[in-house]
Amino acid sequence: MNLPEHAPILAIAVPLLGAFALPLWAKLHRSLRDGWLALVAGATAALTALVAVQVYTTGIQVYTLGASFPADTVAPGGFPIRIILTVDALSAFMGLITALVAVVGFAYAWRYLAEDEGKTLALTLGTLLWAGMLGMAFTGDLFNLFVFFEVTSIAACGLVGYRTWASRGPEAAFKTMVMYTVGGLFVLLAVALLYGEYGALNLAYLARQIGGSLIDRIALALLLGGLLMKAGAVPLHMWAPDAYGEAPAQAVILLVANTQISLYALFRVLFTLYGGVPDPGVGWLVVALGTLTLLVAALMAVVQMDAGRLVAFGAVSQIGYMLLGVGVGLTAVAARPAYGLVAIQGGIFHMLNDAVAIGLLFLAVGAVERASGSRNLGTLGGLGHDLRWTTGFFLLGALALAGIPPLNGFASKLMIYQSSFLLSPILSALAILASILLLAVFVRAFQGAFLGPRLRKAEPVPVPMLVAMGVLALGVLALGLFPELVVRHLVAPAADALWTGRDLYLQAVLGR
């Protein structure tokens, strides 16, 4: 078998099949389960990296199930009739983000999760969620986008609510399930409308056919609503703080990546399927929702006393920055000024920075809860005496999230500030204000939890958990100190896939 050729489908199939086999190995012995998970995670990460290398070096990768090339499966109507995976630079970039958070999350979970508290179930659901996210990133047709949308929804809700002995976990899972279900119905209805109008599901073929009819606009509205709902954008964000606050720490960073995959699907719809949406009103709508999200979430973080929910609102606010950056580019896609591309680069770069910084914060909060038995800032204090590494990791993540130089959050936020200022200075001022609020909130949280007299004894944090946090901390530093390298080699090609890569995407699939 030619491994590089089949890497896109294997990257999805390995974690999908691995997840279902995981409980079987656990029945035999937990060491076999852990070994199997390490094998599946390592193979999936390697396959995802292989796909990314191929895309970044040779261009868009198209994989057709059951045929050697999409052109071999074109029906008389002129569209591909088989399931096709289409991986461009943006898809590969999102795949790398999922690989990073999944590998770090599983390493952290090795010692964080207790055996008698659903560890096997949590690891199984996490692996399934990873497979679904890769499916959403790599698929080339709308129906399979919906299928993997549902796979991620089921796994995510399970991760939020499987700890049924906790009072708020099932409640948060139910709220998340309701929002995901409504969002999924919106997406399914949009797919049905487009299929009824054009008789096809392939994304590239539909992109060639869409002409701006009433049905097309209704489908776009439904897709916007469904994907924004799952991304957690204000005013559809009410599920996110509860889900992030109640899920175990290693699962939360996967949930954060899951919201980013929903944003990826949104950007794919707007730029590839609808060609940038000539109506500038759609771009302004995305900008407005992004600005509202970053402001409202930052304000809500001010009143939180639970460290987990505080970081959760910080995570929601970062979704606003991503929407703002890409939305600014969307408003300018017709004229294509230079700042439009910079804005998209900033929004996409912030996805990676957010996954690293927010992931570090959630893992640090998980370590605090495991060591001290509490996340209530009113009862914590002086943990820095016992948890020195965790204290440093939390501070590093907080400063990065607030955009303090030279950490990674500053690099992407600066790109968003500069480009949004050229569209409207008010947008840039509001984005900076939200960052200042977050800085104040996290400084207060840091002081309350880690400084001052010791209020309770904290147990040592296991080494695997410290290593997992250390990997993300190194990411915060590396992305902040060398942003130009990351932008040039990873972010810029991903942004170009949206800004100028639509024709290449269509040609790679349709061959004409």
Q: Say what the pLDDT of residue 375 is.
A: 86
Q: Is residue 375 part of a domain?
A: yes
Q: Say what the pLDDT of residue 337 is.
A: 86
**pLDDT per position as a tens digit, 248-268:** 988 999 999 999 999 999 999
Among the listed residues 53, 220, 36, the one whose alpha carbon sits nearest the alpha carbon of residue 127:
36
Determine what percent of the chain is predicted with pLDDT higher than 90.
Answer: 71
Q: Is residue 165 part of a domain?
A: no
What total number of domains does the chain contain? 1
DSSP string across 281-342: HHHHHHHHHHHHHHHHHHHHHHT--BHHHHHHHHHHHHHHHHHHHHHHHHHTTTT--HHHHH
Which residue range forms the structural domain that includes residue 366? 278-481
476 Cβ contact partners less than 8 Å away, ≥ 6 residues apart: 356, 357, 360, 396, 397, 400, 407, 408
Q: Is residue 408 part of a domain?
A: yes
Q: Is residue 376 part of a domain?
A: yes
Integer CA distances (angstroms), 286 to 216, 290, 292, 332, in order: 18, 6, 10, 12
Q: Say what the pLDDT of residue 211 is.
A: 82
| Neighbouring-strand partners of residue 86 | 62
Q: Say what the pLDDT of residue 372 is.
A: 86
- pTM score: 0.93
pLDDT exceeds cutoff 80 at 206: yes
Instruction: Report the chain's mean pLDDT, rounded to a whole number.
Output: 90
Q: Is residue 173 part of a domain?
A: no
**pLDDT per position as a tens digit, 351-385:** 999 999 999 999 999 999 988 888 888 888 888 88
**pLDDT per position as a tens digit, 307-322:** 889 999 999 999 999 9
What is the average pLDDT across 211-219? 89
pLDDT exceeds cutoff 60 at 48: yes
Q: Is residue 301 part of a domain?
A: yes
**pLDDT per position as a tens digit, 379-435:** 888 888 889 999 999 999 999 999 899 999 899 999 999 999 999 999 999 999 999
Q: Is residue 163 part of a domain?
A: no
Higher pLDDT, 40 or 234: 40
Q: Is residue 447 part of a domain?
A: yes
